Amino acid sequence: MKQLAIVIVLCVGAWYFFIGGRKLDEPMVRDYYQKEARAISANDADKLCKQLSRKAVIESKTTMMGKTVETTHNRDEACESQHRTFEKLRAVSDQVGSIMAIEYDYHIDSVELTPDRKSATVQGTNVLKMGESILQFKTSFTQRLERELGQVRLVHAEEATVVRVGGRGAMSQSEFFRK
């Protein structure tokens, strides 16, 4: 009987922690983006993939040299894309002949929590630069985050990215965030 009581208490505790427990709050959302920034700065696609929900849908519009490509990815496709992107960045660095530093910065414009605090809609921008202005990705995003198994994860994203190559037309961080 004592063992059954212990099992029940453990099950209730696990349910509370993973499903019904801590609600989403703004510091948790901001921590999500700090972890994302650290993973990008470290070129760690696996850490980025861990931040995606199994049901993630990412809708992207990418403009490069005047051509816009629209894509929709699920979690697995997004992870594959992140791995390819970091491989390409390493290849560019190798071609230049030195290790090029990747600079990443983000700005959160708004965080809107749902009344039940199970999800948050976040709007913001980010810039990823390689080698000052050799390669620059400027992204505006609207993302929905949810708690899933005790973690904050990306469930849905709508992103618009402009890619600039070769320094011409690349902007400074202050120019990007100027409204």
- Residue 36 corresponds to which tokens in the numbers above? 């994302």
Question: For position 67, what pLDDT does the model report?
Answer: 94
User: Residue 168, Cβ neighbours under 10 Å: how many?
Assistant: 7
For the segment 74-101, what is each residue's pLDDT rounded down to a tens digit? 999 999 999 998 888 777 777 766 666 7
Query: In this structure, are residues 67 and 169 in contact, taking their beta carbons and an 8 Å threshold?
Result: no
For the segment 30-40, what is each residue's pLDDT rounded down to a tens digit? 999 999 999 99
Query: In this structure, are residues 43 and 90 in contact, taking their beta carbons and an 8 Å threshold?
Result: yes
Distance (Å, whole) CA 88 – CA 132: 17
Look up the pTM and report it.
0.78
For the segment 139-177, what is each residue's pLDDT rounded down to a tens digit? 999 999 999 878 999 999 999 999 988 754 444 444 444
Please tell me the total number of residues recorded for the chain in this structure. Answer: 179
Identify the residue with better confidence: 5 or 8: 8
Distance (Å, whole) CA 10 – CA 24: 23
pLDDT at 41 over 50: yes
Identify the residue with better confidence: 18 or 109: 109
Bridge partners, residue 103, by sequence: 129
Query: In this structure, are residues 131 and 166 in contact, taking their beta carbons and an 8 Å threshold?
Result: no
- Residue 18 corresponds to which tokens in the numbers above? 């993973």
H/E stretch holding 115 reads: none
Mean residue pLDDT across the chain: 84
Question: For position 96, what pLDDT does the model report?
Answer: 67
The region of weakest confidence among 39-48, 110-119, 159-168 is: 159-168
Question: For position 123, what pLDDT does the model report?
Answer: 98
Question: For position 169, what pLDDT does the model report?
Answer: 47
Task: Map tokens 């990418």 to a residue.
Answer: 62
- State the amino acid at position 47 in one-letter form: K
First to last CA, the chain: 65
pLDDT band at 16 (very low <50, low <70, confident <90, very high): low
pLDDT at 54 over 60: yes
- CA angle, 87 as apex, 85 and 92 as ends, to 5°? 95
Question: For position 88, what pLDDT does the model report?
Answer: 83
Distance (Å, whole) CA 121 – CA 144: 4
Q: What are residue 83's phi and psi, to 5 degrees?
A: -60, -45
Query: In this structure, are residues 158 and 59 in contact, taking their beta carbons and an 8 Å threshold?
Result: yes
pLDDT at 24 over 60: yes
Q: Which domains does the chain have, with CATH numbers?
A: 23-177 (3.10.450.50)
